[in-house]
Copies of this chain bind each other. A is one copy, B any other.
Amino acid sequence: MSSTTSYLPREGRPTTQVPDTRPEDVSAALSRAAAAADAVAEVSPATRRAWLAAIADALEAEVEQLASLADRETGLGMERLRTEVVRAASQLRFYGDVAEEGSYLGLTIDTAPTRIVRMARPLGPVAIFGASNFPFAFGVLGNDTASALAAGCPVVVKAHPAHPVLSDRLVALAKTALAEAGAPRGTLEAVHGLRAGRALVESEQIGAVGFTGSQGGGLALWELANARPRVIPVYAEMGTVNPVVVTPSAAVSRLADVADGFAQSFSLGFGQFCTKPGLVFVPTGHEAVQRLAAAASRTATSAVLLTEGIAQAARSGVQALIAEGAEIVSQVPGPGRGWSADTTVLTAPITALHPTSRLREECFGPVAVIVEYHDADELRHALNALQGALVGSVITDGTDADPDAGRLVESLSDMVGRVTVDDWPTSVAWTWAQHHGGPWPSTTAPAATSVGASALARWVRPVAYQSIPDAWLPEGARESNPWRIPRRVDGKILHR
């Protein structure tokens, strides 16, 4: 039987073998999830909030042990990983709060011409494929799992091969917490292995799929789901290159700040962020390329990546960029052992950004490309050649008077899901207004977000109940408003 190998990335040395889930065990996990679906859907959102809080408590009780386990498998560093455990716990609580608030149910009541009560209904068990780069915040207990549980869907997670041991530990901890909090068996299940993952997407018992990772992985799942007899939604959030534009005015007034900001943002997690500023446009004539490159050299620490495959892809990505006309302007060598990578900043002529250029694609890892532009027309032309992305940033002179910023905000908002001004793109708050998604190919569904309150919307569909006596409606939709959720009645929003 095949298995997943857990490695020590700093040494490139295998440790544990985690066996792939056998087909009969995948089926059993799916059956348990399906058997739990009605119960998970029918309890009040406040009850599910308590389940999520129980998982959060369990995470917070083991921050050090979990961070240590994660550091061993990912090499991301204890400090960052401790923070991430706390973040994951906070996210779980947040999605519970959002569920309890109840707006995600979209409860809407018409009293005329016909009585119609509309409320969202969970899609049933969902399959979640977590990311490699955030083992807690986007892993088996990350945003997708938390928002799906909050919305009333049992979750079957496919553990990421970059941290199989940690994934097992997290699932075990969450299962215990859920059971103690009274959630039914089958509320959370986990599988290992590529075949098991495919089996989830193909299962008639699965109602939707969530994925965070590469375009190759996300699109493969999307195609698999589209080939089912009953097609289901796949919400894939995929790696794209996120553009940053430094305005001429910023280059004049505060290039040193800008260079430091770039260096810090781009090197976070050794460049393994889906929000990494991968393509930075700077005006010509300020030695901006040299200044950003120098800051990157000063800031970068010796990089170890998550997996051998990611390290290889980063190396071959740099070669591909060079083949497209880019040249290296800064390189800080990795440790030279394990999944070592050189932190690399390149520059490329703006003319290289043609519609099929490799420069338009993400190079996952500590790699960024700086491109000089002469004027607004040239810049606009280059931006138009890019693909849809999760986030785009404008770095201004820091005043509301920057003459180019307004236009650039507008221009970027056509192609990304989040625009920031003078914030580097890497930080993604889990809040009510957040949108972490974007036009194809950054996601498979441009209106969907994998972070923030609206993340719950992916896991439900509305049902309109027409002329139905109160007692036969789902509990939350009844006249007495037992869950105390916001309602729209005859077009007017009512508070609880």
Interface check A101, CB cutoff 8 A: yes
Q: Is A490 an interface residue (CB 8 A)?
A: yes
Contact stretch, chosen from A176-184, A193-201, A291-299, A430-438: A430-438
Asked whether B118 lies within 8 Å of A433 as measured between CB atoms, the reply is yes
Complex contact A493–B486 (CB within 8 A): yes
Instruction: Please name all residues of chain B whose beta carbon is closer than 8 Å to the beta carbon of A375 when the two chains form the complex.
Output: none
Minimum CB–CB distance from A263 to chain B (whole Å) comes to 20
Q: Mark A467-490, 1 if CB is under 8 A from B, else 0.
A: 111011110000000000010101
Residues of B near A423 (CB, < 8 A) are: 114, 466-467
Residues on B with C-beta less than 8 A from A466 are 418-421, 423
A411-455 vs B, CB cutoff 8 Å, 1 = contact: the mask equals: 001001111111100010101111111011100111101001110
In the assembled complex, A331 has its CB within 8 A of some CB on chain B:
no
Query: Does chain B have a CB within 8 A of A463?
Result: yes
A228-262 interface with B by 8 A CB criterion: 230-233
Q: A233-B445, A440-B230 known; A117 and B464 CB under 8 Å?
A: no
Q: Cα distance A110–B453 when bound, in Å?
A: 11
A471 contacts B406, CB within 8 Å?
yes
Whole-angstrom distance between the alpha carbons of A443 and B174 in the complex? 35
Q: In A320-361, which residues have CB < 8 Å from any B CB?
A: none
A109 CB-CB contact with B under 8 Å: yes
When all copies of this chain in the complex are counted, the total is: 2
Given the interface pairs A114-B423, A232-B440, A466-B418, the reply to whether A413 lies near B121 with Cβ below 8 Å is yes
**Contacting residues of chain A (115-134) with chain B, CB-CB under 8 angstroms:** 116-118, 120-121, 123
Q: Does A282 contact B (CB under 8 A)?
A: no
Q: A231-B440, A464-B418, A467-B422 are in contact. Are A103 and B435 (CB under 8 A)?
A: no
Cα distance, A117 to B113, chains bound together (Å): 36
Q: Contacts A123-B446, A417-B463 known; A116 to B472 CB distance under 8 Å?
A: no
Q: Which partner residue on chain B sits nearest A446 by CB separation? A: B461
What's the least CB distance linking A447 to chain B, in Å? 4
**How many Å from the CB of A262 to the closest CB on chain B?**
16
Q: Do residues B435 and A118 form an inter-chain contact, with CB atoms below 8 A?
A: yes
A435 with B462: in contact, given A231-B444, A446-B123 (CB under 8 Å)?
Answer: yes
Docked-complex contact B463 and A419, CB < 8 angstroms:
yes
- CA distance in complex: A455, B488 (Å): 16
Q: In this assembly, does A457 line the interface, its C-beta being within 8 Å of a C-beta of chain B?
A: yes
Given A440-B231, A472-B409, A490-B432, also A464-B419 (CB < 8 A): yes
* Chain B residue contacts of A488, Cβ below 8 A: 103, 432-433
Q: What is the bound-complex CA distance between A491 and B454, given in angstroms?
A: 12
Give the residues in chain B near A230, CB-CB below 8 Å.
Answer: 387-388, 439-441
CB-based contact B103/A464 at 8 Å: no
A444 (CB) vs chain B CBs: closest residue: B231
Q: Verify if A27 is at the interface (C-beta below 8 Å from B).
A: no
A205 at the interface (CB under 8 A from B): no
Q: Is the CB of A405 within 8 A of B472?
A: yes
Given A116-B429, A493-B486, A413 and B460 contact (CB-CB distance below 8 Å): no
A226 at the interface (CB under 8 A from B): yes
Min CB gap A90→B, angstroms: 11
Contacts from A to B (Cβ < 8 Å): 97, 101, 103, 106, 108-110, 113-114, 116-118, 120-121, 123, 226, 230-233, 387-388, 400, 405-406, 409-410, 413, 416-423, 427, 429, 431-437, 439-441, 444-447, 449, 452-454, 457, 460-469, 471-474, 486, 488, 490-491, 493, 495
The 10 closest A-B CB pairs, nearest first, are A435-B464, A420-B466, A108-B433, A116-B433, A118-B433, A418-B464, A406-B472, A110-B433, A447-B461, A446-B461
